[in-house]
Amino acid sequence: MRMDLKSLALPGVQHLQPYQGGKPLDELERELGISGAIKLASNENPLGLSELAKVAIEASLENGARYPDGNGFYLKRRLAEKLAVSASQLTLGNGSNEVLELLARGFLGQQHNAIIAEHAFVVYQLVITAQNATAIVVPASSWGHDLPAMAAAVNEHTRLLFIANPNNPTGTWVSLASIKALLQELPDTVLVVVDEAYFEYVDQPGYGSALELIDDYPNLVVTRTFSKAYGLAALRIGYSVSHPDVADILNRLRQPFNVNSPALAAALAVLDDDDYLRRSIGVNRDGYNQLVTGFDSLGLAYIPSAGNFIAVQVPGDVSAIYEALLRQGVIVRPVALYGMPHHLRVSIGLPHENQRFLDSLGRLLVDRDTA
C-alpha cells in the first residue's frame, strides 16, 4: 500500500483549503472560445497601471539580472515620510497577504487562538489554520465586525485579533473611535491587526486610519497594499506599520528579496502619483453610484460598501446566475465561502463594464422570471 504523503504535512496544513481567486480573463475566454470578456471579480483597479509606474518598471529592468534591494530602502524611506512613521516600523511584503502570514507565523502556535469576524477576509482563517492555531469566529452584526463581541471572545490564549476595515467581501467598516475603545479594553498580549487594504477609497464620517493610534498602542499593527487604489495587483507589494519590536520579528521571518525590483520601483513612483490616485477614487465613487442605482432599478438588495466592490443579493440560485454571467463574458465573484450564499461580490469597474454587468444581470433575472 502506498503511503499517504499528505499525512506527513503539519496538522494545520493538512486542513487547509487553497485560496481561490477570481477566475482569470484568459481562462474564461479559452474555455468558452470567446473574446472581450470583462472581469469584475478581484477588486482590481480598472484604470490599469499608472503611467509613472510603467516608466519606473521599465527603468528597473535595466538591472533585472541583479537581486532587488532586500531592505527596500528607498520605498521605506518614502513611506516613512508620507505616513509620519519610522522606517524601523515598516515591513514590506509580497502583497499585504504575506504580511498577514508573517504575523501568524511569528505569533501563533497550536496553543494559541486568534479572533476573526464572521464574513471576514478568508486569508485570516487560512493563516491561522496553517499554524494549527484556533480561529474563534465572532458572529457579524449587520454584516460587519462586532468589536465588543470580539473583545469579549479574547482569552489568555489569544495572540491576534484581525479587523478588516473596510471588510472584504461585505464592504462594511468600523469607526476609529470604536477601534480605540477596543484597544483600550484588550491586554497588551493581543496584537490587533487592522487590515486597511481599501483605506484610500473610504469617504465615511467617523472613519479614520488606525495609523493615528499607532504611537499609543504598541500592540497595534496596520497593514496596507498597493494592489487596489494604487493599481499594482500584478506586482504583489504591500506593507505593515507596527511597533519596531513587532517589525523586527516580521523582518526575521520574511524571505530574502521577498519584494521584486519592478514592484519596489513602481510602488515608489505611484506613491507620488496624486493624479492617478484621484482618478482611481473618482472612478470608484462614480461606479459605485452607477451600480447601486442599477441594483435599485432591478429591485436587488445590496450591502452599502466603503471599498471598491459591492455585495449584491441575488434571488434564486446564485451559482446558476454566476455561471450564466460567465457565459456572457462577465466574471464576478460568488461568496458562499464567506457564509454569504445569496450574494455576488461585484468589483467596481469602468462605466461600460459596470453597465454591461447590469444589463447582463437584468436579462438573466427577466429570463428566469419568465421561464
pLDDT tens profile 5-20: 677 777 777 776 766 6
Q: DSSP letter string over 301-312?
A: -EE--SSSEEEE
Phi and psi torsions of 300, nearest 5°:
-105, 135
SS3 101: helix
Q: Compute the distance between CA of residue 227 and CA of residue 250 in angstroms, rounded to an integer.
A: 21
The grid cell for 346 is 461585484
From the CA atom positions of the chain, what is the Rg in Å?
A: 21
Segment 104-127 shows an average pLDDT of 97
Confidence of residue 357 (pLDDT cuts 50, 70, 90): very high
The grid cell for 209 is 486610519
Question: Looking at domain 5-48+275-370, what is its CATH homologous superfamily?
Answer: Aspartate Aminotransferase, domain 1 (3.90.1150.10)
Give the CATH number of domain 51-272; options: 3.40.640.10, 3.40.570.10, 3.40.50.150, 3.30.450.20: 3.40.640.10
Query: Which range, of 9-23, 156-170, 232-246, 306-320, averages the lowest pLDDT?
Result: 9-23
Segment 263-279 shows an average pLDDT of 98
Please name the amino acid found at residue 110: Q
Rounded to whole angstroms, the maximal C-alpha distance in the chain is 63
Segment 120-124 shows an average pLDDT of 96
**Mean pLDDT score across all residues of the chain:** 94
pLDDT of residue 26: 78
> Could you tell me the residue ranges of all domains in the chain?
5-48+275-370, 51-272
Percentage of the chain with pLDDT > 90? Answer: 88
SS3 61: helix
Query: For residue 371, is pLDDT > 60?
Result: no
Q: Compute the distance between CA of residue 128 and CA of residue 16 in angstroms, rounded to an integer.
A: 10
Segment 318-339 shows an average pLDDT of 95
Confidence of residue 303 (pLDDT cuts 50, 70, 90): very high
Same fold, 5-48+275-370 and 51-272: no
Query: Which range, of 39-48, 79-88, 224-233, 361-370, averages the lowest pLDDT?
Result: 361-370
- Containing 326, the helix (H) or strand (E) segment is helix 318-327
In total, the chain counts a number of residues equal to 371
Do 142 and 173 touch, CB atoms closer than 8 A? no
